[in-house]
Structure 1
Amino acid sequence: MAAPDRWRALALLACTQFVLILDTSIINVAAPSIGSDLDISPAELSWVANAYLVSFGGLLLLSGRAADLIGRRRLFVAGLGTLAAASLLGALAGSAQLLITARVVQGMGAAMAAAAALALLLSLFDDGPERHKALGIFAAMAGAGGAAGTVLGGVLTSWLGWESTFALNVVVGLGLILPARRLLPAGSRTGDEGGFDLPGAVSVTGGLALLAYALVNAGESGWRDPVTLVTGALAVVLLTVFVLVERRVRHPLVPPAIFRRRTLRLANVLAGMWQMSLFPMFFLVSLYLQAVLGYEPVMGGLGLLPLSVVVVLVASTTDRLIGRFGLRTVMCAGFVLVAIGLVWQSLLSPSGSFVADVLPPSLLLGIALPLVSVTTAVAATLGTERDETGLASGLVNTSQQFGSVIGLALLSGVAAARTSAVSGPRDVALTEGFSAAFLAGAALAGVAALLALRLVVPAAPAPEKGPGGTGADDRSTDRDPALP
């Protein structure tokens, strides 16, 4: 594909990423209106938001492998079509059951589209500066989508009603499908045609979905809740079955050999850890602005826009930073900045202000976010063969998705526990809770920075390694060329 066409294709994929991340946050602002209009109980209302996360997280790995087996563009279009159809169902829903069903199907479509989008990006751009730049743009749009969801949720709900947050996906989904055939490569099937690992697919999808359910329920009802414990135990059983199946079947969904790649293993752990430490920050800062400082929901969302602008600006230069200082150095620096920014963010005051308490640390976190998101994505996809791009995409997407779910459950729990332990005015107790959560996030980022020091970066491949510039030698040298 010619260079201009590749960058137009990237624009389409990045816009898709923007929409998929936007959907994780836009519904949170619309939820109170949904509950009021449809007379939905608080327990059911929480699952209007969380059902999307459960199906999204549960199907990412299977979707990534399916992208290799049935074709990336085909899965991309199918995912967007599923998302648009489910969104139309959500806009017309008149009951909690129908709305939750729509959110489950939305998550299924999002998983297909997300896995295919990253796999397409990896197939369009070979290892090197261009892929780093492409991943930077991809990360920038993801960061912008997270903040925009909060703003758009408030604006659309206030002006057009909560149904418009679903109708938006119908319009945008169709708008993204139309140019897909023209801009994206056909992408013939690249996976092994010898068979499909049905037992592996069923066990891993069920296991990941139950794990996501358990984690989300832990955030709602606590880690000792019977539902959390039972679904968590079932998830462990199914994931154990999956591991055993993959060792025995002839055509495994996830070849066990892929986990023998040291860089891939650590990169996926780090991809999850940056989400664990940073993703809850968006939610908790918005709560602080509204519950403590008294901002309206729309203004609470607008408070995150400066961070999003910084994310976009820094992400566009991350490829040059990697080229100059090396992948491991930039990654470590990013995690250190995350830790510093969250410690700074923890210095909240119940009588503070946006300009004094939120803006400065959020700008620092806006610098850190693309550094960790781009470098972990680069590391997780280094040396990926062309028939593995979907699998690599599914793995890193799954790591990030579960990192965000685990992080939100953990840090929200820390905030709630600290708030309950503080006697005094509610705004003081809430502020103490938010501060404790930010410190916990900083500790996670500090651990990630230490782990990043152990990252082993393969040397650049030698010339003439075949299509895509990758080959067996890509993984043979445990040294970052940019490091002494």
Structure 2
Amino acid sequence: MRPDLDARPADPRRWAALVLLCTANFMVILDAQSVVMGVPLMAADLGLSPVEAQWILSGNLLTFGGLLLLGGRIADLIGRRRVFMLGTALFLVVSVLSALATAGPVLLVARALHGVSAALMAPTALAILTDMFPEGRERNRALAGWAAIAAIGATIGLLLGGALLGWFGWPSLFFVNVPVALLMLVLSPVLLRESRSASAHRTLGVAGAVLSTAALGLLVYVLVEAPGRGWTSFPVLGVAAVFVVLTAVTIAVDRRSAAPMLPARLFRSPTVLGGNVLTILIAMLVYGMSVVLTQYSLGVLGYTPIRFGLSQSVMPIACVVGAYATQKALARPLLRRVSIAAFVLLATGSALLVRISPDAGYLTTVFPGLLLFGLGLGSASVTLAAAALTGVTPADAGIASGVNVAAFQVGGALGVAVVSTIIAAMPASAGALAGFHAGLAACAGFGVAGAVLAFVLLRRAGRGNLTAVARPH
């Protein structure tokens, strides 16, 4: 083992800590999924226009995506447990504020602050996991749990959200967070050990931090607004141009900084670079598929939220199976092969779902597609998380986790934007299902592209093992 990698003995609390960290991941995803279903009721109760109501979701996504890198780097510097608890405390406060909101602007501000709390919690939890589990079989098992709980949270969010909305109204979507967040705050000092960067540079490059946060926020804004305004509209093109300029300036500033916001050494490992690029594609698939199936099931088939959640339940179950089967394969130098196979499963599952129609049978059409998609999603989530964090030094665990979570958020926003645009672009003369079929075909295309990129980008990982490291300065 290299001297700059952490050689501390394994923490005996690590498996209990994993449950806590996965709970944090679960709650962030659960909140996001359930709120999607409650937006129409919130808008009606609080007098929000359709454009204002959209910002219940967009404001949260903007702050979450924009602040991920900053949250990860701050955690590296001042302590990951400390930042995780700060994010959890903010999550608790804004959940209460959201539930008690009696005016639209209050809810919009609360949802934006929720994005801030998620940006502190999500990358920090993943960094703590990386710190507590050494590379190898145990970390792969931990990452399998992390990936599986994310899939479960996505479906439970639909089921629980539908039930809470029907029984108690939309404030209950936020009140349910409160006891869990309190328990997490109590257990964090007991189960989580503090960790931070041991680097000589214990300061944050303010210029790089501001520029990178602004650039990432602008990118998320473009992806959120493009489907509604049009990809060639002046506001979208204008903001996109500013994003490109800010990105170039950020790179130039970071190259001259003694404490760069995004160290270039992270991407000198082809495995780390490939893991993050492919994470973008995985997120495009997940969110793109979610757009199609949600609109089709609720809009065309007329499913209730609970029935929709039940109809999709095979996918998270298959995801759990795929995740735990894959973590065993990662003990061998098979990362590239497993990644390619995972994307092939995702592409095949998406292609099978292109056959959906109101007359098609669930067991013969929808079930096989969701099953293969879930197996591929579970497998890919574990392999790519392992790749994106392989060989990252303890000093960079927070920012590396922030990059990986940011890649997923950007990919998700891009998937929603592309698939929504494809669905909307289909002419009415093509039929009601044409847009959904085109969206699913696009998802299949994302899967094929992922298999090709995995073959190219993870070539060294295929010949080596999962301990290839990102070289230090």
TM bucket normalised to smaller? over 0.9
**Separation in 1, partners of 2:376, 2:429:** 35
Query: Which of 447, 451, 454 does residue 449 from structure 2 map onto?
Result: 447
Query: Which of 122, 129, 133 does residue 130 from structure 2 map onto?
Result: 122
**Separation in 2, partners of 1:475, 1:204:** 21
CA contact (8 A) 1:263 1:379 kept: yes
CA contact (8 A) 2:137 2:328 kept: yes
CA contact (8 A) 2:10 2:134 kept: no
**Separation in 1, partners of 2:263, 2:324:** 34
Q: Counterpart of 2:206?
A: 198
Unaligned runs of 5+ in 1: 462-469, 477-484
**Separation in 1, partners of 2:199, 2:211:** 20
CA contact (8 A) 1:154 1:298 kept: yes
CA contact (8 A) 2:350 2:443 kept: yes
Query: Which of 302, 305, 322 does residue 297 from structure 1 map onto?
Result: 305
Give 1:294's aligned amino acid: G
Query: Which of 10, 13, 16 does residue 8 from structure 1 map onto?
Result: 16
Give 2:327's aligned amino acid: D
1:220 paired to 2:234: no
CA contact (8 A) 1:289 1:354 kept: no
Query: Which of 14, 19, 31 does residue 23 from structure 1 map onto?
Result: 31
Cα 1:388–1:189, aligned 2, differ >3 Å: closer, same or farther? closer
Between the two structures, name the one with larger relative contact order (CA 8 Å, sep ≥ 6): 2
Q: Counterpart of 1:317?
A: 325
CA contact (8 A) 1:20 1:110 kept: yes
CA contact (8 A) 1:71 1:190 kept: no
Superposed displacement of residue 337, structure 1: 0.5
CA contact (8 A) 1:459 1:475 kept: no
1:259 paired to 2:267: yes
Superposed displacement of residue 475, structure 1: 5.7
Q: Counterpart of 1:160?
A: 168
1:423 paired to 2:429: yes
1:334-384 deviation per Cα after TM superposition (whole angstroms, max 9, x unaligned): 001101110111111133343343222101111010111111111111111
SS at match of 2:48: coil
**Separation in 1, partners of 2:50, 2:21:** 35
Q: How does 1:33-48 map to 2 (within 5 A)?
A: 33-48=41-56
CA contact (8 A) 2:99 2:175 kept: yes
Query: Which of 165, 181, 190 does residue 189 from structure 2 map onto?
Result: 181
Q: How does 1:126-145 map to 2 (within 5 A)?
A: 126-145=134-153
**Separation in 1, partners of 2:26, 2:215:** 27
Q: Counterpart of 1:288?
A: 296
Superposed displacement of residue 227, structure 1: 2.6
Q: TM-score, normalised by structure 2?
A: 0.93
Query: Which of 68, 78, 100 does residue 76 from structure 2 map onto?
Result: 68
Give 2:438's aligned amino acid: A
Cα 1:50–1:192, aligned 2, differ >3 Å: closer, same or farther? farther
Q: How does 1:84-483 map to 2 (within 5 A)?
A: 84-324=92-332, 326-418=334-426, 421-423=427-429, 428-429=431-432, 431-454=433-456, 455=458, 456-457=460-461, 459-460=464-465, 474=469
Cα 1:265–1:189, aligned 2, differ >3 Å: closer, same or farther? closer
Superposed displacement of residue 325, structure 1: 6.6
Q: Counterpart of 2:6?
A: none
Higher deviation after alignment, 448-457 or 115-124: 448-457
Give 1:166's aligned amino acid: F
SS at match of 2:195: coil
Cα 1:322–1:258, aligned 2, differ >3 Å: closer, same or farther? closer
Q: Counterpart of 1:467?
A: none
Give 1:423's aligned amino acid: S
Cα 1:460–1:269, aligned 2, differ >3 Å: closer, same or farther? closer
1:303-362 deviation per Cα after TM superposition (whole angstroms, max 9, x unaligned): 222211221232222211223571111111000110111011111113334334322210
Cα 1:281–1:187, aligned 2, differ >3 Å: closer, same or farther? same
**Separation in 1, partners of 2:299, 2:18:** 39
1:137-159 deviation per Cα after TM superposition (whole angstroms, max 9, x unaligned): 00000111111112222111111
CA contact (8 A) 1:282 1:304 kept: no
**Separation in 1, partners of 2:151, 2:12:** 24
CA contact (8 A) 2:332 2:465 kept: no
CA contact (8 A) 1:79 1:113 kept: yes
**Separation in 1, partners of 2:469, 2:291:** 40
**Separation in 2, partners of 1:446, 1:192:** 43
SS at match of 2:88: helix
Superposed displacement of residue 262, structure 1: 2.0
Q: Counterpart of 1:479?
A: none
